[in-house]
Amino acid sequence: MKTLIVVGHPDLDGSSTQAFLQASAAGVPTAQWHPLTLNVAAERQALLAAERIVLQFPLYWYAAPAMVQEWLATVWTTRFAQQLAGKSLGVVVSLGRPLRDFHPGGAVGVSLDALLSPFAALAQTAKMTLLPPLAIAQFAYQIDAQRARLLVQYQQYLGLTVPSSFSAQAAWWQTQLAQQPQAALLAETLATRQARLESLRATLAEVKGDD
């Protein structure tokens, strides 16, 4: 699956979040890191060649930055959008506030889903499959363990057909681990556990079928 990462950040070189994501994306051979431009023909060609389009930006005053809106208005016209039907659309958004602020009663008072609803509408209009957003809150304050988890989540978001499926994630881990000889044993253990889990699930389905 080819993935195009459309990066819209007003200060790309100064962003440690984006530097981290770019390094992480380099580990996904099928994903293309693509800071957006307003070259309409080139942008459209890149969009058409991808199966998944990931829009990636920081939230500025609770919305996508001006450059993303400009890009949508220029490149992604209503007519062109018709050619994107069937592709999947992801949104990777970085936040300067903690996630708990994005709730009624929280400091922002509005859910992140509501703030990102323009992209739900965009996906519906273009007949694309919307992925749940990947939100990165306060990257600067994240400790190493959180960043290690983010790397995995992000790579899966770029590379897995259904990033939220548990079995797809387990398969992804096996592939990753198999590539590192010292981790072969761990990969084998994981494969065994996954097999047992599937066997248990099958048994459970049979039991339920008996009701």
Minimum CB distance to a copy of itself, residue 181 (Å): 48
Q: Which of 6, 28, 72, 128 binds a copy of itself (CB under 8 A)?
A: 72
Distance of CA 200 to the CA centre of its chain: 30
Tokens of 56: 């990636």
Minimum CB distance to a copy of itself, residue 114 (Å): 4
* 63 lies in the binding site for a copy of itself (CB under 8 A): yes
* 122 lies in the binding site for a copy of itself (CB under 8 A): yes
Strands 88-95 and 134-137: parallel
* 128 lies in the binding site for a copy of itself (CB under 8 A): no
Considering only the stretches 12-20, 54-62, 162-170, 202-210, report the one whose residues sit in contact with a copy of itself under the rule CB under 8 A. 54-62
What residues contact 154, with CB distance under 8 A and at least 6 apart?
21, 24, 25, 92, 134
* 187 lies in the binding site for a copy of itself (CB under 8 A): no
Minimum CB distance to a copy of itself, residue 68 (Å): 8
Q: Which of 33, 76, 139, 154 binds a copy of itself (CB under 8 A)?
A: 76
Q: Is 100 exposed, middle or buried (0-12, 13-18, 19+ CB in 10 A)?
A: exposed
* 117 lies in the binding site for a copy of itself (CB under 8 A): yes
Tokens of 44: 């459209």
Q: Are 75 and 85 in contact (CB under 8 A)?
A: no
Q: Which one-letter amino acid corresponds to residue 200?
A: L
CA distance 2 to 28: 10
* 89 lies in the binding site for a copy of itself (CB under 8 A): no
Residues that bind a copy of itself (CB under 8 A): 10, 60-67, 69-70, 72-73, 76, 107-111, 114-115, 117-118, 120-122, 124-125
